[in-house]
Structure 1
Amino acid sequence: MLKVFIIVLFYYPLSIGLTFFQKSFLTNFHYPLIVVTGHYITKYLVGYIGRWMVECRKKTKRVRLSFRDQLRYIAPIGICASFDIGLSNWALEYITISLYTMTKSSSILFILFFSIIFKIEKLRLPLAINSLLIAAGLFLFTWKAEQLNVIGLFLVTLASLCSGVRWAVSQLVMQRDDSQITVRNPLDMIMHVQPWMLLAILPLAWFFEGAELMNESKAFDGYSVVLNIFLGGLLAFFMELSEYLLLVNTSGITLNIFGIVKELMTLLLAHYLNHDKLSFINMIGLVLCLTGMIFHAVNKHKKALGSNRINVGSDAEDARRLLLAEVNEIA
């Protein structure tokens, strides 16, 4: 529990800080895809150095997946993660942090959907009710929003869909029993995923922003831009590291509760720092969203407790049978 608490202490400021940092930086530098590309390069270089240091210290080679396994399991994670992060940063150019945060929280719907598709979860009535609560909350939250931008809303919704695929497949890879393709170490996961993320974002960055950046490059302070991209990349690296650590070390209930608290903190900070406006209907939507998330977390907790009771009961029954067998042998 202490380990998880320490991870969360790193995750919250990194995640919230990166959101506000990116919003501020992109206000003056309108090339979100170029910025994200720089982040991916930074994360790969930092991860490469970190993994090399770990290998030198332990004198053992880290896990390396074959190209076939990477193509089957890692490529979908990398491509979806690339679009998730890239589109999210792009959306911040058009919408407020409040609207971005609540719309991005719809990723829970997509995570549930793909978890059912990949047979990680089973479709149940509580699951459907929770999903409807969150969907209704998101609809009301964006209802007649003064700062609503259709392009920004579309981009962040598409990013949420990519996030659903990303985390569902990540859970399969990091928690499955097949030791040949399991990547449990977050550093190894980052190193395998980053090249695919970079490969996916480069064509988009060049097509949408490359020519314009080349024409206006003299209008920017190159050193300042590179420094801000590097700092953002460092924040993104450690945030992604903490996300994978939480995925490996916590249950779904814990991860969801942490997410709910983080959304609340981000919204409150956006309201007070950036003066983002929320109407009464938007607030009702917020309450419905959070209610759906909390109910989902509670249901996951009940399911986990039931599973533990079954396991304990099975262990006790096995022990009883073993004891009776030993008694019969003695007799």
Structure 2
Amino acid sequence: MPILAPNSNVSASYSSLSPSKIISRKPSFRADSSDNHELFSEPYKASMTSPTSTSTSNKSKNVETVIYILGWYLFSLSISIYNKWMFGKGLDFKFPILITSFHQFCLMILSGIVLWVKPRLRPTINTKNHDGDIINRPSNSQSKFISFLSIFKISLFTYLKQIFPCSLASAGDIGLSNVSFKFISLSLYTMLKASSLMFVLLFGLLFRLEKFHWRLLVIVLIMTGSVIMMVKKPQKIGLALTEEDDHNNFGILLVLGASMMSGLRWSFTQILLKHNDYTNNSISTIFYISPSMCLTLFLFGLGFEGWSNFTQSPIWELEGIFGTILLILIPGVLAFMMTLCEFKLLSVAQVITLSIAGIFKELLTIILSALIFGDKLSFINCLGLLITFVDIIWYNYYRFKENQNKEFEGYSSLNGKDETEDDEVSIGSSNLDMNSNSKIDSIEMKKL
């Protein structure tokens, strides 16, 4: 768990910059981070190798991409189906908020273990000075564990201002999503959650993270219409539709609320975390965000669900204490494995690949939901889903062309440099920064 150190140095506040200035800056990846080296060095290396080695490298990356996408599918689909079974009529464990808080505790422990065994993923802000020299070396009397925790020391002010808002938005997103499984089908949940892009764009415009363009307005309007189509209640045919699949209005509001929190979380991530020296990779981000998410969800769970009701639930007798704890922690492990796959997928996949893979994953979720839970969708629902996917593809294409134009402008500006400058290295750096920025935006969208 990260240490809150009120007396430690506070990192530069983002409040001195306008949102428009913040978004124009590239993510502050440190040159000395070996994790960033792994993420960004391969394309540059590939440009300096022979065609044969490049072909071999491309084949290897293609294999890696397939493996990580399959892992992403496996763990993501498992989480969705498992949570629906746990909080729906399957297991009927009626405490989604409290259980989700335990998931976050599990994520904190697992991310801490990875950071313990993989030092290159740890933040270096507390271990190196401005010249890159290692400081605060542990003394002989200092235990390795205490030394390990000191690496994650962060001021209370910095944590509350830069990380806690993301924790609150993430807690709202995940908490509302899991509560909604009590009221609506997994298929409807998946369709409505795809509308997160609409809230991403709205909050992006609100916080000036997005430059207004008529295409963005059209995308939002189309998405709004598709949501209306997706929530239209199918007509019952005999007993084909269960009560739970009957498009419960409260459940729909919960999912839309979760989608809104997803958009807010994405905006906070853009403003607060991309330039935060403590959260330069997914594992480190989980380690810093999960404790406050756990505490927030736990407090809300105590208020809305009640600790005594939770401990007196019949499932403790049916499954036993050990079995129940295992059932509670399994989704946390699945979520962490999914994050690892996403983390590795970032380093090998293209933006368009991520977008198409994400859409196909949503389709697989709906198909499996129909096969496992018997979900039924009307023609209007399916048409609304199709329009949503087309809208998402349009948005990603718009972003892809926008990034291409920015990259071309970067090349053009580099051509005007003095010949004594290292143009090849500068071009490579510019290209890699652009790719990294696009991939991070894409994976954030996938997490929505």
TM-score after normalising by structure 1 = 0.86
2:116 is aligned with 1:49 = no
Partners of 2:165 and 2:289 in 1: CA distance: 9
2:79 is matched with 18
Of 215, 222, 227, the residue aligned with 2:312 is: 215
Q: What is the aligned partner in structure 2 of residue 153 from structure 1?
A: 252
> In structure 1, the residue corresponding to 2:313 is in which secondary structure?
helix
Establish whether residue 190 from structure 1 lines up as the match of residue 286 from structure 2: yes
Query: Which amino acid counterpart does residue 272 of structure 1 have in structure 2?
Result: L
Aligned to 1:70: 159
Distance 1:56 1:298 in 2: 34
> 1:83 is matched with which residue?
172
Partner Cα distance (1:319, 1:261) in 2: 47
Structure 2 residue aligned with 1:162: 261
Quote the offset at 1:159 in angstroms.
Answer: 0.9
Identity of aligned residues (%): 29
Greater alpha carbon shift after TM alignment, 52-61 vs 86-95: 52-61
Measured against aligned partners, the alpha-carbon deviations of 1:201-246 in whole angstroms (never above 9, x if no partner) come to 1122112222322333554422222111111110112223445666
**Unaligned stretches of 5+ in structure 1?**
324-331
Inter-partner Cα distance in structure 2 for 1:201 and 1:257: 33
1:276 correspondence with 2:340: no
* SS of equivalent residue, structure 2 residue 375: coil
Query: What's the CA shift for 1:63?
Result: 5.0
Counterpart selection for 1:8 from 44, 69, 73? 69
Secondary structure, in 3 states, of the residue corresponding to 1:42? Answer: helix
- Please give the alpha-carbon distance, in whole angstroms, between the structure 2 residues aligned to 1:21 and 1:297: 30
Determine helix, strand or coil for the equivalent of 1:216.
coil
CA distance in 2, matches of 1:65, 1:251: 34
Does residue 122 in structure 1 map to residue 218 in structure 2?
A: no
Indicate the larger mover: 188-197 or 209-218.
209-218
Flag the 1:42–1:280 CA change in 2: closer, same or farther, 3 A.
Answer: same
Shift of 1:113: 1.9
Q: For 2:212 and 2:350, locate their aligned partners in 1 and report how far apart those are by CA, in whole Å.
A: 19
Q: Could you tell me which amino acid in structure 1 is paired with residue 297 of structure 2?
A: I
AA aligned opposite 2:216: L
Cα deviation, residue 174, structure 1: 4.3
For residues 10-46 of structure 1, the C-alpha deviation after alignment (integer angstroms, 9 at most, x for no partner) is 2222111100011112231222112212211111111
1:67-117, CA deviations, whole angstroms, 9 ceiling, x for partnerless residues? 211111110111111121111111011100110001111111111222223
Distance verdict in 2 for CA 1:245–1:119, change over 3 Å: farther
Q: Aligned in 2, Cα 1:246/1:79: closer, same or farther, shift over 3 Å?
A: farther
CA contact (8 A) 1:173 1:183 kept: no
Q: 1:307 and 1:196 mapped to 2: Cα distance?
A: 37
Q: Which residue of 1 aligns with 2:337?
A: 238
AA partner of residue 232 (structure 1): P
Query: Contact 1:111/1:165 (CA < 8 Å) preserved in 2?
Result: yes
Aligned letter for 1:123?
F
Count how many residue pairs are aligned between Structure 1 and Structure 2: 320
Q: Is the 8 A contact 2:108 2:290 kept in 1?
A: yes
> Deviation per CA, 1:90-146, whole angstroms, max 9, x where unpaired?
101110011000111111111122222333321211111111112111110111235
Aligned counterpart, 2:364:
265
Aligned position for 1:329: none
Query: What are structure 2's unaligned runs of at least 5 residues?
Result: 1-57, 128-147, 236-245, 423-448
Structure 2 residue identity aligned to 1:216 = S
Deviation for aligned residue 1:252 = 6.3
Query: Partner letter of residue 53 of structure 1?
Result: V
2:166 counterpart letter in structure 1: I
The structure whose residues are more often helix, as a share, is 1
Counterpart contact for 1:92–1:152, Cα < 8 Å:
yes
Counterpart among 373, 376, 389 of residue 290 in structure 1: 389
Label 1:43 to 1:9 Cα distance change in 2 as closer, same or farther (>3 A).
same
Q: Equivalent of 1:106, from 173, 176, 195?
A: 195
Match of 1:326 in 2: none
Are 1:36 and 2:100 an aligned pair? yes
TM-score normalised to structure 2 length: 0.65
